Structure 1
Amino acid sequence: MSAAELEVQGAAWTPDKATPRVLHPTSFKVGAGRVLGIVGPNGAGKSTLLRLLYRFQRPSVGQILINGQDIWALPARAVARRIAAVLQEQASPFGLSVREITALGRTPHRAGLAMSARRDAAVVQQVLDRLSLQNLADRPFATLSGGERQRVMIARALAQEPQVLILDEPTNHLDVRHQLEVVSLIRTLGLTVVVSLHDLNMAVGVCDDVLVLDGGRPQGFGPPATLLSDALVSKTFRVQARREHLAPSGAAHFSFTLPQ
């Protein structure tokens, strides 16, 4: 798997002419292999932007480019070979095993040839090994814990051999240990990753760049260390935010209080 550059040029989305715009014109570029975090309060437009990135919805205006190509100028199967998404809503298990669900990620690559089948099986096994799922490969998906299910969903996405991976709140509903496992995994994938997060401290720790959204409007884009000022975070999230540096690592950490 190799990483690709992802660029958004003035992309916006409006459901219809009678509905106010949900996402206002947004532009940014994610270099190949970098991790972009999208943060903002509920209703900020994070999920809408992600749906544009993985080609579920077409921008009302603007473009989504992968290595300079408009994803809507490419066949859907070609885009599915380049961009994969892990959503908050996990698929119904339908009695499938971990291996079978992971193998669904090979759908965009299948050509009905024996050589293709061997390649698919090899990729699935590599992904299971990489995510330490080999011991669970024959287990029914329904019997797994929340953290294990999330790893399987990521495995299915990686089986697509994408260049860009979209993650929508990947740590939602996970306990602390499984949150740390997912965050650690994100940093080791070697792909271009776009991840929406509620936890600002997690964004600071895992992301190369951050896009802040509020009310469907971009508030800033850049490295978290310089972009996420106390003033911007306080204004965006309607709290009093204070960034501190933890000893002895010096890592940045936000604390929050309600406005007086």
Structure 2
Amino acid sequence: MKAAELEVAGVSWAPTKSAESVLHPTSFRIAPGRVLGVVGPNGAGKSTLLRLLYRFQRPKTGHVRVGGQDIWALSARGAARRIAAVLQEQASAFGLTAREIVRLGRTPHHSGFAASGAGDDAVIDRVMGALSLHPLADRDFGTLSGGERQRVMVARALAQEPQVLILDEPTNHLDVRNQLEVVSLIQTLGLTIVVSLHDLNMAIGVCDDVLVLKDGHPQGFGPPQTLLSDGLVSDTFRVDARRDHLARSGAAHFSFSLPKKTGPTL
């Protein structure tokens, strides 16, 4: 797997041609191997943007390029060889084992009804080993814990051998340990990654850059250490945000409170 540059230029999206845009023109460029965090409140347009990036929806305006190629100029199979996505919703496994789920990631590399070969098995073994999944290989996917299922879905995506990996709220509904495991995994993949996150402190710790969205409008793009100011975060999330630095590590950390109400009280 080799990371590629991701270029997003003026993309927007609306449910119909005449409808108001849900995502307004948004642009950014990510160098190969960097991690971009997409942050913003509910309804900000994060999932809409991600759907444009993994070619689920065609943008109303603008383009998405991976390694200089417009993803809509590629076949669906060609796009799936370059971009993989791990979504919040996990489809029913229908009794498949963890290894069989991971094997599905090789589908874009087959033509017609061609069967899997030794090359596929080597890729599957490699990604399952990297994610410590071999002990779970023969387990029914439905019997796995939330964290284990998430690792399997990431392994399936990696089996596509993509250049860009899209992660939609990968820590959602996970306990603290499983959240930490997913975060650790993101930091070791070496791919160009776009990840949507609710946790700003996690974004600061994991991401090279962040894109802030509010009501479908981009509010800023850049390194989290410099972009995420008290004012920007407070305005975007409609809270009082204060950025501190942890004493031991010096890492930035946000604390939040509700804005104080003004005016008469009952």
TM-score (normalizing by structure 1): 0.98
Query: What is residue 164 of structure 2 aligned with on the other side?
Result: 164
Amino acid of the residue matched to residue 216 of structure 1? G
Q: Which amino acid aligns with 1:232?
A: L
Q: 1:82-130 deviations in whole A, cap 9, x for unaligned?
A: 100000001201000000000000000014667x611111111111111
Q: Retained in 2: the 8 A contact 1:3–1:163?
A: yes
Ranges in structure 2 where 5+ consecutive residues have no aligned partner = 261-266
Deviation sequence 1:191-225 (CA, Å, 0-9, x none): 00000000000000000000000000000000000
Note the residue ranges of structure 1 that are not aligned, 5 or more in a row: none
Residue in 1 that maps onto 2:55: 55
Q: Which residue of 2 aligns with 1:100?
A: 100
Contact 1:169 1:197 in 2 (8 A): yes
1:117 equivalent to 2:117? Answer yes
Give, in whole Å, the separation in 1 of the partners of 2:133 and 2:66.
Answer: 30
Deviations 1:136-174 (A, max 9, x none): 000000110000000000010000000000000000000
Give the structure 1 partner of residue 128 of structure 2: 128
Does the 8 A contact of 1:110 with 1:117 survive in 2? Answer: no
Work out the percentage of aligned pairs sharing the same amino acid. Answer: 75
TM superposition shift of 1:18: 4.0
What residue number does 2:73 align with? 73
Partner of 1:22: 22
**Contact 1:34/1:192 (<8 A) preserved:** yes
Q: In the alignment, residue 207 of structure 1 is paired with which amino acid?
A: C
Taking the TM superposition and a 5 Å limit, the aligned residue runs for 1:215-226 are 215-226=215-226
Aligned to 2:264: none
Match of 2:155 in 1: 155
What is the Cα deviation at residue 20 of structure 1?
1.5
Partner of 2:263: none
1:209 equivalent in structure 2: 209
Q: Does 1:247 align with 2:247?
A: yes
Deviation of the 1:17 alpha carbon: 3.3
2:244 is the alignment partner of 1:235 = no
User: 1:171-193, CA deviations, whole angstroms, 9 ceiling, x for partnerless residues?
Assistant: 00000000000000001001000
The residue matched to 2:33 in structure 1 has which SS? coil
Q: Structure 1: how far apart are the matches of 2:25 and 2:125?
A: 41
1:137-148 equivalence runs, <5 A: 137-148=137-148
Whole-angstrom CA distance in 1 between matches of 2:71 and 2:245:
41
Q: Per-residue deviation at 1:19?
A: 2.3
1:38 lines up with 2:38 in the alignment:
yes
Supply the distance in 2 between the matched residues of 1:68 and 1:124 (Cα, whole angstroms).
Answer: 28
- Where 2:165 maps in the other structure, the secondary structure is strand
The 4+ residue runs of structure 1 with deviation greater than 4 A are: none
Could you say what secondary structure the match of 2:132 adopts?
A: coil
AA in 2 matched with 1:70: D
Distance in 2 (alpha carbons) for counterparts of 1:162 and 1:32: 12
TM-score, normalization: structure 2?
0.96
Distance 2:257 2:130 in 1: 40
